[in-house]
Structure 1
Amino acid sequence: MGVLAAVPPLLALVYGLWQAYNFYYWRRAAAVRYPATTERLTIAILVPFRNEAAHLPALVASLRQQDYPTDRYEIVLLDDHSTDGGAAGARELYPDIRIVRLQDHPDYHTDVAHKKAALRLGMDSTSAQLIVTTDADCRWPAGVLSELNRIAAAGYDVVLGPVGIAPVYDACSAFQALDVLGYQLFTAATAAAGTPALANGAHFAFRRTAFEGVGGYTGVDHLPSGDDVLLLHKFVAAGLRIACATSPAVQVTTKPEAGWRAMLLQRIRWAGKAGNYGSTALSVAQGLAFLTSLGILVGLLWGLFDSRFLWAAAVAWLFKGVADAVLLRSVSRHYGRGALMRWYALAQLIYPFYLVGVGTAALLGVKVAWKGRG
């Protein structure tokens, strides 16, 4: 039994070493700067949406304020069968905005991958060189397109952009903000290490030729989500050049899910595609984080009968907490979100339960409805 009690601390030690590896590459990624260029690629910003009438006007306003030549970029709103009026409010404010309705194009119909279908339709409706995707509830700083253009002009085929959660107004939104910051650090670290593993469709850019070269969503178009991560893994497999933008000035913000239940449903949906990942780095990261958290919880439970396990779980939890704190403090300060760390202790207490719960649901194949769809 004494040997078994050593398992949670050992798992936490391995986890800590893995986080040290990530920290090293995160610091490298955060220091990268891209050269100025006179080249101006044509850019299409694709916004797939469904029932986002309340959010679209503010998104379009932020996109229209980009410091990029207006004749070199376009905004394409992709209406995925909205029932709330769609983009009518945005069009009223911006009459020249382009709106493409998926329901008007039956050739793109799908029973599952609606967002991918909308994005395919959007790409087929533009000839832009650089495709940028975002979500309807996002807000964009003015310099994002210029930075994406700089990176692409430096020879990169794919750019992974930083995303943050805002506003933060309670424990749930703070938990999501810290969680997403952790994703951003891992995204940048794996890109710097040459093993890109994560992407976020709220801020994702790729050359049209790259998308066409890997066959688009073919092979992953049977899945309801994964228009970002699964596509990234196809890009990686094709040997394309991938960069991660880390400048605080180009962090796109997205709204938190409204409450714990909505957040858990979203995360379970994300986790449901894990079996289709083509990234060893991501599989190792998910497996190690899950096992470390599971070891802590099992140690706590067994500690009710044997105090050695209780102490082992406490040591493992403390070690994991310190490792995570170092990384999150660095990334939060980098993006000017250092105040989020006041929520860190609470988030760390919740996280093992959250991760084991979501991970177990994914392993059991739990399916959840999301935005009115299964």
Structure 2
Amino acid sequence: MMLLISIGLVFLLILQDVILFLLLRYNFKNYGEGEQIAFPQISILIPCRNEAHNLPQCLEALESLDYPSSKLQIIMGNDGSEDGTAQILQQWAKQNSQALYLEVKAGDGFKMNGKANALQQMVGHATGELLLFTDADCVVGPNWARSMVAAWQSSQAGVVTGITRIKGHALFDRMQAFDWWLTLGMVKVMDDLGIAVTSMGNNMLISKSAYDAVGGFEGIPFSLTEDFEMAKQIEAKGFPLIHLVNQDNLVVTKGQDNFAGLMRQRKRWMSGAMDLPSVWKLLLGLQVLFFPAVLFLVFLYPFEGIILWLIKVLIQGLFIYCFALKTRIRLKWVDFLLFEIYYMLTAWSTIVYYFWPSKTDWKGRKY
């Protein structure tokens, strides 16, 4: 019985990866690419908590945005930082007329997490028809705002989610990057099928009308993944959600410095994943259960088990490689085998750590 179950799981995962690749190849949707756009008033919101070491690159990228300055507002919120974040933001706001500095007031941690509280206050000062969100540890491209706005104009979506990649040349950074490509690739495929999954607060556009329809961040249920919850509530109000993937709207962010930091990040993300649709849970479940199933096959039938495993790595690798190419990023094939080991370890470690009886630590705040 165990043998049959293991064989079935392995073949289901291989079939899943084949389907994902075919959908990526033949059902990939672009939005607003190459279209002439109008320039609505936009507000970019960046909450900052102890980000002094990240802000120089972030702010330099914002200065290079190709968007009419008269239509652009950038709100920088200092959320109780204990380093030089406030001084950097205040100085930058003085030098940039489109920038607004805001000192975030402490909120009720039982109603909103820290980031949601900061964003709620920041939106209160926003003048834009469209709200664009990114993080202080992110670097946006010069055409980022244009690309997100064009996608909104062609779709009239309530939420436009962009694409983000992890930067860095160290092995741990590259493995995290592969993980993001795989996960966001599956998100994009599902979204293009009309099954909205999630959104990401480090690369996201929300129309002001959609935001107001749900009562803002204070109007949605408490969540450690406020971006996911916001997207879910906006979709429930009847607004479309789309996922935009191209070179122009690619945002670069930092990975976690170590495995402990990765687990803390994953514990928070898992709280949102538990509310995902059943189809998405099935996809994630197949990814995780594949490893014990294939290891069981390798133990009983080494040659056949290894061949099946390599087939899975090949198809999954092809999916990841082709998805990254949508943003003109070429990945190194030599990393794919290493990623399989990394993915096996992190997938099961995440499950164990999620159920471990400890609070979630996020930016020095515990929930």
TM-score, normalised via structure 1 length: 0.88
Paired residue for 2:215?
A: 215
Letter of the structure 1 residue corresponding to residue 231 of structure 2? L
Q: What is the identity, as a one-letter code, of the residue corresponding to 2:317?
A: A
Compute the displacement of 1:343 (Å). 1.4
Structure 1 segment 216-365 matched on structure 2, within 5 A: 216-217=216-217, 221-223=221-223, 225-275=224-274, 277-297=275-295, 303=299, 307-308=300-301, 314=306, 316-364=308-356
Moved more, 138-147 or 12-21: 12-21
- AA paired with 1:195? I
Residue 127 of structure 1, CA deviation: 2.8
User: What is residue 17 of structure 2 aligned with on the other side?
Assistant: 19
Residue 48 (structure 1) aligned with residue 47 (structure 2)? yes
For the 8 Å contact 2:93–2:100, the answer to whether it is kept is no
1:161 paired residue number: 162
Query: Aligned-pair distance for 1:83?
Result: 0.6
Change (3 A) 1:334 1:273: closer
Kept in 2, the 8 Å contact 1:45–1:132? The answer is: yes
Deviations 1:73-96 (A, max 9, x none): 111112211111223124324414
The corresponding residue for 1:193 is 193
In 1, the alpha carbon distance for the partners of 2:364 and 2:135 equals 17
Q: Which amino acid aligns with 1:137?
A: D
Q: Larger deviation: 329-338 or 213-222? A: 213-222
Correspondence for 1:148: 148
Question: Shift in Å at residue 47 of structure 1?
Answer: 0.7
Give the letter for the 1:157 counterpart: G
The question of 1:136 aligning with 2:128 is answered no
Aligned partners of 2:165 and 2:250 also within 8 Å: yes
Q: What is the CA–CA distance in structure 2 between the aligned matches of 1:4 and 1:315, rounded to whole Å?
A: 19
- The ranges of structure 1 where at least 4 consecutive aligned residues each deviate by more than 4 angstroms after the TM superposition are 28-31, 218-221, 297-300, 310-313, 363-366
Q: Contact 2:228/2:272 (CA < 8 Å) preserved in 1?
A: no
Structure 2 match to 1:205: 205
Secondary structure of 1:6's aligned partner: helix
Task: Give the SS at the match of 1:91.
Answer: helix
Matches within 5 A, 1:164-183: 164-166=165-167, 168-183=168-183
Quick one: distance in 2 between partners of 1:91 and 1:29? 46
- Percent identity, aligned pairs only, is 20
Instruction: Specify the alignment match of 1:373 in structure 2.
Output: 365
Contact 2:147-2:248 within 8 A present in 1 as well: no
Structure 2: runs of 5+ lacking an equivalent: none
For structure 1, the residue ranges without an aligned partner over 5 or more in a row are none
